[in-house]
Amino acid sequence: MKPPPNAERASRRDPPVYPAFPRLPINPTIPLQAAATILKGTPHRHRHLWLLSESDPDDEAATRREISPLRPQLRSPCALGLGPETESLAKLVPGALTHLSASQLPVLATRLFSKHALDA
């Protein structure tokens, strides 16, 4: 397909231009509600919750309300915070690993998954 005759040609060296997207609210309460439903039908020894976030939740209190009733049902909660604004995950899930870079995630996730899978 040929471009129209008056179309501007971009150089292959020009980086792609992406539109600026507004920051969307971080609301993990809906996924946590779904997790609670799934956990009810799961044997206790397989009840693991992994929370992965790239930012602190916008409503920490609402997130805490969703996590609190799950704690007694869980064998192992785990939270991984990707990036600099994830310190509140440590308040929500004790032992959370925060301020992670994307390059750290595969190694840490593999190590944690292996540990929890072997403990089950």
- What's the pLDDT tens digit per position in 12-37? 566 656 566 565 566 778 888 888 88
Secondary structure class of 60 (helix, strand, coil):
helix
Please tell me the predicted confidence (pLDDT) of residue 36.
Answer: 84
If we measure between CA atoms, which residue out of 39, 53, 116, 50 comes closest to residue 82? Answer: 53
Q: pTM for the full model?
A: 0.66
Query: CA–CA separation, 64 vs 89, rounded Å?
Result: 10
**% of the chain exceeding 70 in pLDDT:** 73
Residue spans of the domains in the chain: they are 29-37+45-119
Structure token pair of residue 88: 């509140």
| pLDDT surpassing 80 at residue 63 | yes
CATH architecture of 29-37+45-119: 3-Layer(aba) Sandwich (3.40)
Q: Specify the pLDDT at position 99.
A: 92
H/E element, 90: helix 89-92
Among 58, 91, 87, CA closest to 77: 91
Q: Is 18 helix (H, G, I), strand (E, B) or coil?
A: coil
Question: Is the Cβ–Cβ distance between 39 and 47 less than 8 Å?
Answer: yes
